Amino acid sequence: MFPTTRLRRLRQHPQLRELVRETTLSPRDLILPLFVRHGQNQKIPIGSMPGHAQLSVDNLAAEIREIVSLGIPGVILFGIPAHKDADGSDARSESGIVQQAIQEIKSVDDSLLVITDVCYCEFTDHGHCGVLTERNGHVDVDNDATLELLQDQAVSHAEAGADMIAPSGMMDGMIEALRNALDDVGFTHLPIMSYAAKYCSGFYGPFREAAESAPQFGNRATYQMDPANALEALREVELDVAEGADILMVKPALSYLDIIRRVKDAQPEVPLAAYNVSGEYAMVKAAAANGWIDEQRVTLEILTSIRRAGADMILTYHAKETARWLS
Protein backbone atom coordinates (compact mmCIF):
# COMPACT_ATOMS: atom_id res chain seq x y z
CA MET A 1 0.00 0.00 0.00
CA PHE A 2 2.27 2.80 -1.29
CA PRO A 3 1.03 6.22 -2.43
CA THR A 4 0.24 6.86 -6.11
CA THR A 5 0.21 10.59 -5.66
CA ARG A 6 3.61 11.74 -4.46
CA LEU A 7 3.97 15.47 -4.02
CA ARG A 8 7.67 15.00 -3.41
CA ARG A 9 8.16 14.31 -7.15
CA LEU A 10 7.76 18.00 -7.91
CA ARG A 11 10.29 18.84 -5.23
CA GLN A 12 13.16 16.77 -6.65
CA HIS A 13 14.80 19.14 -9.12
CA PRO A 14 15.60 22.75 -8.21
CA GLN A 15 14.48 23.98 -11.64
CA LEU A 16 11.22 22.11 -11.31
CA ARG A 17 10.67 23.53 -7.85
CA GLU A 18 11.07 26.93 -9.40
CA LEU A 19 8.68 26.11 -12.26
CA VAL A 20 5.91 25.19 -9.85
CA ARG A 21 6.58 28.06 -7.45
CA GLU A 22 3.30 29.91 -6.89
CA THR A 23 4.56 33.15 -5.37
CA THR A 24 7.29 35.44 -6.63
CA LEU A 25 9.26 38.13 -4.85
CA SER A 26 11.15 40.84 -6.68
CA PRO A 27 12.73 44.18 -5.74
CA ARG A 28 10.03 45.63 -8.01
CA ASP A 29 7.43 44.64 -5.38
CA LEU A 30 9.05 46.72 -2.63
CA ILE A 31 8.68 50.27 -1.36
CA LEU A 32 11.26 51.68 1.06
CA PRO A 33 10.25 54.03 3.90
CA LEU A 34 12.62 56.98 4.44
CA PHE A 35 12.89 59.33 7.43
CA VAL A 36 13.80 62.87 6.47
CA ARG A 37 14.76 65.35 9.18
CA HIS A 38 15.42 69.05 9.46
CA GLY A 39 18.96 70.39 9.75
CA GLN A 40 22.11 70.08 7.70
CA ASN A 41 24.45 67.18 7.10
CA GLN A 42 22.52 64.96 9.51
CA LYS A 43 22.54 61.19 9.49
CA ILE A 44 21.21 60.02 12.83
CA PRO A 45 21.04 56.24 13.16
CA ILE A 46 17.78 54.82 14.52
CA GLY A 47 18.83 52.51 17.35
CA SER A 48 15.93 50.08 17.14
CA MET A 49 16.12 49.89 13.35
CA PRO A 50 19.69 48.93 12.41
CA GLY A 51 20.56 50.08 8.89
CA HIS A 52 18.13 53.02 9.02
CA ALA A 53 18.81 56.65 9.88
CA GLN A 54 17.10 60.00 9.89
CA LEU A 55 18.63 61.87 6.95
CA SER A 56 18.64 65.59 6.35
CA VAL A 57 17.54 66.75 2.90
CA ASP A 58 21.13 67.55 1.82
CA ASN A 59 22.09 63.93 2.54
CA LEU A 60 19.35 62.35 0.44
CA ALA A 61 21.05 62.29 -2.96
CA ALA A 62 23.40 59.34 -2.38
CA GLU A 63 20.63 57.35 -0.73
CA ILE A 64 18.27 57.98 -3.65
CA ARG A 65 20.87 56.93 -6.24
CA GLU A 66 21.48 53.71 -4.34
CA ILE A 67 17.75 52.93 -4.11
CA VAL A 68 17.29 53.48 -7.84
CA SER A 69 20.36 51.40 -8.70
CA LEU A 70 18.95 48.51 -6.63
CA GLY A 71 15.79 48.48 -8.74
CA ILE A 72 13.48 49.54 -5.92
CA PRO A 73 10.59 51.38 -7.59
CA GLY A 74 9.51 53.76 -4.86
CA VAL A 75 9.95 55.35 -1.46
CA ILE A 76 7.48 56.56 1.15
CA LEU A 77 8.51 59.68 3.04
CA PHE A 78 8.15 60.50 6.72
CA GLY A 79 9.24 63.90 8.00
CA ILE A 80 10.75 65.10 11.26
CA PRO A 81 10.21 68.88 11.27
CA ALA A 82 12.27 71.46 13.16
CA HIS A 83 9.15 72.80 14.79
CA LYS A 84 6.06 71.00 16.08
CA ASP A 85 2.87 72.71 17.23
CA ALA A 86 -0.70 71.88 18.21
CA ASP A 87 -2.00 71.73 14.64
CA GLY A 88 1.16 70.51 12.90
CA SER A 89 1.69 73.51 10.65
CA ASP A 90 4.92 72.21 9.08
CA ALA A 91 2.90 69.38 7.51
CA ARG A 92 1.15 71.72 5.09
CA SER A 93 3.85 74.36 4.64
CA GLU A 94 5.38 74.97 1.23
CA SER A 95 8.78 74.86 2.91
CA GLY A 96 7.90 71.92 5.17
CA ILE A 97 10.37 69.09 5.64
CA VAL A 98 8.47 66.61 3.44
CA GLN A 99 7.87 69.20 0.71
CA GLN A 100 11.62 69.95 0.61
CA ALA A 101 12.45 66.26 0.48
CA ILE A 102 10.07 65.64 -2.44
CA GLN A 103 11.69 68.40 -4.45
CA GLU A 104 15.20 67.20 -3.65
CA ILE A 105 14.41 63.59 -4.62
CA LYS A 106 12.77 64.69 -7.84
CA SER A 107 15.83 66.75 -8.73
CA VAL A 108 18.18 63.81 -8.07
CA ASP A 109 16.20 61.20 -10.03
CA ASP A 110 12.67 61.73 -11.17
CA SER A 111 12.22 58.08 -12.18
CA LEU A 112 11.69 57.09 -8.55
CA LEU A 113 8.07 56.95 -7.36
CA VAL A 114 7.71 59.35 -4.45
CA ILE A 115 4.89 58.49 -2.06
CA THR A 116 4.14 60.64 0.97
CA ASP A 117 2.58 59.59 4.25
CA VAL A 118 -0.29 61.99 4.90
CA CYS A 119 -0.84 62.24 8.66
CA TYR A 120 -0.20 64.68 11.51
CA CYS A 121 1.45 62.61 14.25
CA GLU A 122 4.98 63.59 13.21
CA PHE A 123 4.05 67.29 13.11
CA THR A 124 1.96 67.89 16.22
CA ASP A 125 3.55 68.62 19.60
CA HIS A 126 1.10 66.18 21.26
CA GLY A 127 1.92 63.38 18.79
CA HIS A 128 -1.66 62.50 17.83
CA CYS A 129 -2.68 62.05 14.20
CA GLY A 130 -4.83 65.18 14.00
CA VAL A 131 -6.08 68.16 15.99
CA LEU A 132 -7.54 67.65 19.42
CA THR A 133 -10.92 68.50 20.83
CA GLU A 134 -12.43 68.07 24.27
CA ARG A 135 -15.80 66.50 24.87
CA ASN A 136 -17.05 66.12 28.43
CA GLY A 137 -13.55 66.33 29.78
CA HIS A 138 -12.27 63.69 27.37
CA VAL A 139 -9.62 64.70 24.84
CA ASP A 140 -9.79 63.08 21.40
CA VAL A 141 -8.78 63.72 17.81
CA ASP A 142 -11.41 65.85 16.06
CA ASN A 143 -12.29 63.87 12.95
CA ASP A 144 -13.74 66.54 10.70
CA ALA A 145 -11.37 69.35 11.67
CA THR A 146 -8.53 66.93 10.96
CA LEU A 147 -9.99 66.14 7.53
CA GLU A 148 -9.58 69.78 6.58
CA LEU A 149 -5.96 69.83 7.70
CA LEU A 150 -5.30 66.59 5.83
CA GLN A 151 -6.70 68.17 2.68
CA ASP A 152 -4.21 71.03 2.98
CA GLN A 153 -1.35 68.62 3.64
CA ALA A 154 -2.22 66.43 0.65
CA VAL A 155 -2.54 69.37 -1.73
CA SER A 156 0.76 70.74 -0.47
CA HIS A 157 2.48 67.39 -1.13
CA ALA A 158 0.94 67.27 -4.60
CA GLU A 159 2.13 70.78 -5.38
CA ALA A 160 5.64 69.88 -4.21
CA GLY A 161 5.67 67.02 -6.73
CA ALA A 162 4.58 63.86 -4.90
CA ASP A 163 3.54 61.01 -7.21
CA MET A 164 1.08 59.42 -4.78
CA ILE A 165 -0.25 60.22 -1.33
CA ALA A 166 -0.81 57.65 1.40
CA PRO A 167 -3.13 58.85 4.17
CA SER A 168 -2.52 56.90 7.38
CA GLY A 169 -4.51 58.78 10.00
CA MET A 170 -7.59 56.50 10.08
CA MET A 171 -10.06 59.40 10.10
CA ASP A 172 -13.56 58.60 8.84
CA GLY A 173 -14.25 60.00 5.38
CA MET A 174 -10.55 60.61 4.79
CA ILE A 175 -10.33 59.24 1.25
CA GLU A 176 -13.35 61.13 -0.05
CA ALA A 177 -12.15 64.36 1.55
CA LEU A 178 -8.68 63.99 0.03
CA ARG A 179 -9.99 62.96 -3.39
CA ASN A 180 -12.20 66.05 -3.48
CA ALA A 181 -9.42 68.35 -2.33
CA LEU A 182 -6.97 67.04 -4.93
CA ASP A 183 -9.57 67.16 -7.72
CA ASP A 184 -10.57 70.73 -6.82
CA VAL A 185 -7.08 72.01 -7.55
CA GLY A 186 -6.50 69.93 -10.68
CA PHE A 187 -4.71 66.87 -9.27
CA THR A 188 -7.34 64.48 -10.64
CA HIS A 189 -4.53 62.21 -11.89
CA LEU A 190 -2.82 61.80 -8.50
CA PRO A 191 -3.47 58.36 -6.97
CA ILE A 192 -4.31 57.68 -3.32
CA MET A 193 -2.94 54.66 -1.49
CA SER A 194 -5.14 54.27 1.56
CA TYR A 195 -3.94 52.80 4.82
CA ALA A 196 -7.42 51.27 4.83
CA ALA A 197 -7.06 48.71 7.60
CA LYS A 198 -4.54 50.11 10.04
CA TYR A 199 -4.47 48.53 13.45
CA CYS A 200 -3.66 50.03 16.83
CA SER A 201 -0.47 48.02 17.10
CA GLY A 202 2.45 47.58 19.43
CA PHE A 203 4.56 46.83 16.36
CA TYR A 204 4.91 50.56 15.60
CA GLY A 205 7.24 51.08 18.59
CA PRO A 206 10.53 51.56 16.71
CA PHE A 207 8.86 53.83 14.14
CA ARG A 208 7.78 56.21 16.85
CA GLU A 209 11.42 56.53 17.90
CA ALA A 210 12.43 56.94 14.24
CA ALA A 211 9.78 59.56 13.45
CA GLU A 212 9.70 61.09 16.94
CA SER A 213 5.94 60.71 16.79
CA ALA A 214 4.86 58.89 19.96
CA PRO A 215 1.63 60.28 21.41
CA GLN A 216 2.44 62.40 24.46
CA PHE A 217 -0.62 61.07 26.30
CA GLY A 218 -3.08 58.26 25.73
CA ASN A 219 -2.95 56.03 22.67
CA ARG A 220 -4.46 55.81 19.19
CA ALA A 221 -7.28 53.40 20.07
CA THR A 222 -10.06 55.88 19.18
CA TYR A 223 -8.95 56.00 15.57
CA GLN A 224 -6.82 52.95 14.74
CA MET A 225 -8.45 49.51 14.62
CA ASP A 226 -8.71 46.94 17.38
CA PRO A 227 -6.34 44.02 16.58
CA ALA A 228 -9.19 41.64 17.47
CA ASN A 229 -11.32 42.73 14.49
CA ALA A 230 -11.42 41.35 10.97
CA LEU A 231 -14.94 42.08 9.71
CA GLU A 232 -14.39 45.73 10.55
CA ALA A 233 -11.37 45.73 8.23
CA LEU A 234 -13.67 44.70 5.39
CA ARG A 235 -15.98 47.63 6.19
CA GLU A 236 -13.01 50.03 6.22
CA VAL A 237 -11.88 48.69 2.88
CA GLU A 238 -15.34 48.85 1.29
CA LEU A 239 -15.74 52.46 2.34
CA ASP A 240 -12.32 53.41 1.03
CA VAL A 241 -12.98 51.81 -2.33
CA ALA A 242 -16.32 53.63 -2.56
CA GLU A 243 -14.59 56.89 -1.63
CA GLY A 244 -12.07 56.48 -4.43
CA ALA A 245 -8.98 54.74 -3.03
CA ASP A 246 -6.70 53.55 -5.84
CA ILE A 247 -4.60 51.17 -3.75
CA LEU A 248 -5.56 49.60 -0.41
CA MET A 249 -3.19 48.81 2.42
CA VAL A 250 -3.21 46.51 5.42
CA LYS A 251 -0.90 47.37 8.29
CA PRO A 252 0.95 45.75 10.07
CA ALA A 253 1.60 42.73 7.85
CA LEU A 254 2.96 39.76 9.74
CA SER A 255 0.34 39.42 12.47
CA TYR A 256 -2.35 40.32 9.94
CA LEU A 257 -1.77 37.87 7.09
CA ASP A 258 -5.36 36.71 7.50
CA ILE A 259 -6.56 40.28 6.99
CA ILE A 260 -4.42 40.64 3.85
CA ARG A 261 -5.99 37.46 2.47
CA ARG A 262 -9.54 38.49 3.35
CA VAL A 263 -9.12 41.95 1.86
CA LYS A 264 -7.65 40.47 -1.33
CA ASP A 265 -10.56 38.03 -1.59
CA ALA A 266 -13.11 40.78 -0.90
CA GLN A 267 -11.58 43.26 -3.36
CA PRO A 268 -9.59 41.20 -5.86
CA GLU A 269 -9.62 43.96 -8.49
CA VAL A 270 -8.03 46.58 -6.27
CA PRO A 271 -4.23 46.56 -5.91
CA LEU A 272 -3.24 45.72 -2.35
CA ALA A 273 -0.22 46.83 -0.34
CA ALA A 274 0.95 45.55 3.03
CA TYR A 275 3.17 47.44 5.47
CA ASN A 276 5.85 45.25 7.03
CA VAL A 277 6.25 47.64 9.96
CA SER A 278 9.12 48.78 12.16
CA GLY A 279 8.56 46.30 15.00
CA GLU A 280 8.52 43.39 12.58
CA TYR A 281 11.83 44.62 11.18
CA ALA A 282 13.35 45.18 14.62
CA MET A 283 12.50 41.63 15.74
CA VAL A 284 14.30 40.11 12.76
CA LYS A 285 17.32 42.37 13.24
CA ALA A 286 17.56 41.66 16.97
CA ALA A 287 17.31 37.89 16.56
CA ALA A 288 19.79 37.93 13.67
CA ALA A 289 22.26 40.04 15.66
CA ASN A 290 22.17 37.36 18.35
CA GLY A 291 22.80 34.64 15.80
CA TRP A 292 19.43 33.06 16.59
CA ILE A 293 18.04 33.11 13.06
CA ASP A 294 19.40 33.23 9.52
CA GLU A 295 18.54 36.82 8.61
CA GLN A 296 18.43 36.44 4.84
CA ARG A 297 16.40 33.25 4.93
CA VAL A 298 13.90 34.57 7.48
CA THR A 299 13.48 37.94 5.75
CA LEU A 300 12.82 36.36 2.36
CA GLU A 301 10.40 33.92 3.97
CA ILE A 302 8.49 36.74 5.66
CA LEU A 303 8.25 38.85 2.50
CA THR A 304 7.24 35.83 0.40
CA SER A 305 4.55 34.99 2.97
CA ILE A 306 3.15 38.51 2.79
CA ARG A 307 3.01 38.20 -1.00
CA ARG A 308 1.43 34.73 -0.72
CA ALA A 309 -1.22 36.12 1.64
CA GLY A 310 -2.31 38.45 -1.17
CA ALA A 311 -0.22 41.61 -1.12
CA ASP A 312 0.74 42.94 -4.54
CA MET A 313 3.37 45.23 -3.02
CA ILE A 314 5.13 45.55 0.33
CA LEU A 315 6.34 48.60 2.20
CA THR A 316 9.39 47.31 4.03
CA TYR A 317 12.55 48.46 5.79
CA HIS A 318 14.19 45.31 4.39
CA ALA A 319 13.90 46.63 0.81
CA LYS A 320 17.57 47.42 0.14
CA GLU A 321 19.11 44.23 1.52
CA THR A 322 16.37 42.16 -0.10
CA ALA A 323 17.04 43.76 -3.47
CA ARG A 324 20.73 42.82 -3.06
CA TRP A 325 19.91 39.25 -2.11
CA LEU A 326 17.53 38.82 -5.03
CA SER A 327 19.87 40.24 -7.65
Tell the smallest beta-carbon distance from residue 168 to ligand PBG (Å): 4
Closest alpha carbon to 59 in 76, 37, 78: 37
DSSP string, 169-216: S--TTHHHHHHHHHHHTT-TT--BEEEEEEB--GGGHHHHHHTT---S
Span of 114-122, 143-151, 266-274, 288-296 interacting with ligand PBG by CB under 6 A: 114-122
Tell the smallest beta-carbon distance from residue 12 to ligand PBG (Å): 40
Q: Which residue is nearest to ligand PBG (CB)?
A: 207
What is the rounded distance in angstroms from the CA atom of residue 150 to the CA atom of residue 148? Answer: 5
What is the rounded distance in angstroms from the CA atom of residue 161 to the CA atom of residue 181? Answer: 16
Tell the smallest beta-carbon distance from residue 319 to ligand PBG (Å): 12
- 56 or 278: whose CB is closer to ligand PBG? 278
Tell the smallest beta-carbon distance from residue 52 to ligand PBG (Å): 10
Q: Would you count residue 151 as binding ligand PBG (CB under 6 A)? A: no
Q: Which residues are annotated as a binding site for 5-aminolevulinate?
A: 208, 220, 278, 317
* Residues 187-224 as b or e (16 or more Cβ within 10 Å = b): beebbbbbbbbbbebebbebbbbbbbbeeeeeebeebb
Closest alpha carbon to 213 in 151, 125, 277, 149: 125
What 3-state class would DSSP assign to 36?
Answer: strand
Q: Would you count residue 55 as binding ligand PBG (CB under 6 A)? A: no
The active-site residue out of 43, 84, 251, 264 is 251
- 111 or 201: whose CB is closer to ligand PBG? 201
Q: Please, are residues 144 and 130 in contact by the beta-carbon 8 Å criterion?
A: no
- 44 or 266: whose CB is closer to ligand PBG? 44
Active site residue 264: no
The pairing of beta strand 138-141 with beta strand 74-80: unpaired
- 48 or 305: whose CB is closer to ligand PBG? 48
Number of residues that bind ligand PBG (CB under 6 A): 9
Q: Which residues are annotated as a binding site?
A: 119, 121, 129, 208, 220, 236, 278, 317
Q: Which residues are annotated as a binding site for Mg(2+)?
A: 236
- 108 or 139: whose CB is closer to ligand PBG? 139
Span of 57-65, 88-96, 115-123, 299-307 interacting with ligand PBG by CB under 6 A: 115-123
Q: Would you count residue 123 as binding ligand PBG (CB under 6 A)? A: no
* Position among 204, 241, 270, 285 found at the interface with ligand PBG (CB under 6 A): 204
Closest alpha carbon to 224 in 204, 244, 247: 204
Q: Would you count residue 149 as binding ligand PBG (CB under 6 A)? A: no
Active site residue 198: yes
- 10 or 48: whose CB is closer to ligand PBG? 48
DSSP lists the bridge partners of residue 141 as 132
* Position among 77, 121, 182, 323 found at the interface with ligand PBG (CB under 6 A): 121
Q: Would you count residue 119 as binding ligand PBG (CB under 6 A)? A: yes
Residues between 207 and 226 that touch ligand PBG (CB under 6 A)? 207-208
**Secondary structure, 3-state, 126-177:** CCCCCCEEEECCEEEECHHHHHHHHHHHHHHHHHHCCCEEEECCCCCCHHHH
Alpha-carbon dihedral of residues 33, 89, 127, 43, nearest 10 degrees? 40
* Position among 263, 277, 284, 302 found at the interface with ligand PBG (CB under 6 A): 277
Q: Would you count residue 117 as binding ligand PBG (CB under 6 A)? A: yes
Q: Please, are residues 166 and 154 in contact by the beta-carbon 8 Å criterion?
A: no
Give contact residues for ligand PBG (rule: CB under 6 A).
117, 119, 121, 168, 204, 207-208, 277-278
Instruction: List residues with catalytic annotation.
Output: 198, 251
